[in-house]
Structure 1
Amino acid sequence: MLWQHVLSLSVFTSYFLAIIGLFSLITYALATSKGKPGALKVATFTGLTIASFAHTWYFMFQYMQWSFAHYLSTHQDLNSEEFIYRLASWLYDTSLFEEAWSYVVFHPLNWWWSEQLCLFTAGAWTVFIAIEGTRRKVRHVWAYMLLGQIVAISVASNLFCLALILSPESTTKNSKNSKAKPRQIHAGPKLWISVLLSLITVAYTPYSTEKTFLPNLLVMHGLLFIPLVSLTDAPSPYSIATRSLYRLIHIASVLIHLRTVVGAVFFLNYATHNAPKQPLIAAWLVLHSNPAQSSIGWDVVWTTISFITWTFMAGKSGPDALGIFSKLYLLCATPVASIGVTAPYVLQPKAKSAPPASAKQD
């Protein structure tokens, strides 16, 4: 076996070890939290974590199996080799990250699914975990982002909701400060610049070339770690109100997603294809067109369910309360506009009413 094959096997093994390590780090932090939340909230998001992980990774393992079989079908000479050699050859010759993303990007209908998750993650969710992670003193916020990128955003978002629920600030500050004078929350330049640049990479993704595709993906993912690696509440003269940042994200997401929807509609009605022209049927068929697409598509669905559940269960009074209009907008607009578009709008009320403690991001 070549040393390159050994290295490929080591990287593949390290990937799963990293997942185990992140789960261990996060679950330990959750288990040692001192908050006293309601049992229903904990049970709900624990169940959503397990369900989203099982569902998305069922398709992820299917994708790996499909990719391995497809590779062997084009390399017949390897059939006589031992399994470990065939596995190592597949890992060495195949960039699973790039291959999987290529299946979910370069088609108008596939990108309609995948963009929803990209917009949510690069936009509202990054701001949400940065601000709330600081405000409620959640440990290892960066680990939730990394887990979301290598496992599933829905899994990471459910675990982060558990972290918020279990934080002492979540169970004590709402009741103490519900009548306190609101103070505006601000986002520092490290946060808002990273988020806006990441949204640009999302908009560019379906137009990337063979040379720029992988670098663009890596930049998109890497930018989201910058504001999370070292969270701080130190003020900055270049900070902007978080409400304004959510508003910018909302406007940008509307424009980006509208372009994608127009492209998908144009393809269904005017391009030559064998897919049905009914949008719902076409979307369902594309969702199951490839295991890689199924994994990220169902991640979109589970992430949407989790976020809606959070907005209705998180807080009914105090700084985390949402108005009836925001809840109706979330329920009615999300199936049409996607969670990437509706989440930043719904999160704006939280930016209006912050606790007395500072929650600025440097």
Structure 2
Amino acid sequence: MEIDYKLPVLIFISYFTLLIPALFWIISPQLKRSFDQHSTETTILFVLTGVFTTITWIFVCKFMYLDYTIWSFSKGFHWDFSLNAISHWLHDVCLFEDVVREASTGAWSWLWTHQIATFEVIVWTTILTIEGWRRRIPHLWAYMLLCKAMGVSTAMGVFCVVMLSHPPIRRRPSLKLLGVLAFSITVGLITVLITPYVSTSSNFMTNLVVMHAVALLPLIGDYDEQPALTVYDGTPKFITLLYCFIAGANFSIYLQQWIKCFMTCTESKHILCRLVSTYIDVFWEHPAQTVINLDNIGTSIMSVVWMWLYSQQEFKKRVPSWAWATILLTPVLTASVTLPIFLSAYECSRLTVKQKKHE
């Protein structure tokens, strides 16, 4: 069969047969170490990861089918489904851009989409950087690429499984690492903020490239541990404040977006009912939107499970009241807000314990 555009087809096939398997192969030693422990926590996280990945990718396939159908009719006639037709479709469209653009246009769509955007670019980058460095987990960039290739909930589940078998062995990230991380999340935050304003312009793809590129910066290379010059060095406090800043910034964006959505319903007599119904309707409005939303929900559930498991592990089977608060507030405030609060409170509790030991 003659294929007019071989390169797009080759890239598409390589995505599933080379890129994703290669990423799992790179992190396979760490995964094997986790599975060798045969722990209940590992099983729970692994099962959840499989469920979220399966559900999300069912809708990814639905989106691709819809996109192909729309494209074929846009040509003025219905193409017979063939590899050559697929090559023309892949040549004419940009699937990644189309998914994000569709899910970023409009106040209600962005209400859902910004949650996963802020989590991936700001929260997830910080967790990978700090926890990965502390635990000496190699190839952190592979987990970020896995996040972009398969979804945030999938990559988060995999990394949480790995963290269970890699306890922290380093304490003080270098100032260079923290500086690169601060730069990365600052630029990432700016790109998230401007996304809805460029969603219909030619600058949209450039903004996406910058957003995802800066997230990789603190994950490339190895950084030495900062020497302990004093007992009360500022590194733990900086990390605590960093998580507080992330939670505050994400909450501000979340609240502002809800206000924008509220303003679209002010003419309705039953504003609350209209808000709830519109919020739910947008979830299933388009397969692209549903893909983003399902990944968002999967990430929130994974965050709740991780906060509970991590609290049990660190506090000897006792979940602190502040941990329960972040867990219960996650469905309301989203994981992009509650998980940084949880991590900030955890860092603060560790710092308090260390100070008491030296008093």
Matches within 5 A, 1:340-355: 340-352=336-348, 353=350
Matches within 5 A, 1:40-119: 40-77=40-77, 79=79, 83-119=82-118
Deviates more, 1:222-231 or 1:22-31: 22-31
Matches within 5 A, 1:217-228: 217-228=208-219
8 Å contact kept, 1:311–1:322? no
TM-score scaled by length of structure 2: 0.85
8 Å contact kept, 2:5–2:91? yes
Q: Which residue of 1 aligns with 2:23?
A: 22
Matches within 5 A, 1:318-329: 318=314, 324-329=320-325
Distance 1:146-1:4 versus aligned 2 partners, 3 A rule: farther
Residue 289 of structure 1 and its aligned partner are, at CA, apart by 1.1
Q: Which residue of 2 aligns with 1:247?
A: 244
8 Å contact kept, 2:300–2:331? no
Q: Which amino acid aligns with 1:233?
A: D
Q: Name structure 1 gaps, 5 residues minimum.
A: 178-182, 357-362
Residue 342 of structure 1 and its aligned partner are, at CA, apart by 1.5
Per-residue CA deviation, residues 138-161 of structure 1 (Å, 9 max, x unaligned), is 122111111111211000000000
Deviates more, 1:229-238 or 1:148-157: 229-238
Deviates more, 1:45-54 or 1:319-328: 319-328
Per-residue CA deviation, residues 291-314 of structure 1 (Å, 9 max, x unaligned), is 111111011111111111011112
8 Å contact kept, 2:172–2:226? no
Structure with bigger RCO (C-alpha 8 Å, 6+ apart): 1
Q: 1:289 aligns with which of 279, 285, 295?
A: 285
TM-score scaled by length of structure 1: 0.85
Residue 35 of structure 1 and its aligned partner are, at CA, apart by 8.6
Q: Which residue of 2 aligns with 1:137?
A: 136
8 Å contact kept, 2:3–2:87? no
Percent identity, aligned pairs only, is 26
Q: 1:233 aligns with which of 198, 201, 224?
A: 224
Distance 1:36-1:318 versus aligned 2 partners, 3 A rule: farther
Q: Which amino acid aligns with 1:87?
A: I
Residue 77 of structure 1 and its aligned partner are, at CA, apart by 4.3
The total of aligned residue pairs comes to 339
d(CA) in 2 for partners of 1:318, 1:337: 24
Alpha carbon RMSD of aligned pairs, Å?
3.0
Residue 323 of structure 1 and its aligned partner are, at CA, apart by 6.3
Q: Which amino acid aligns with 1:298?
A: L
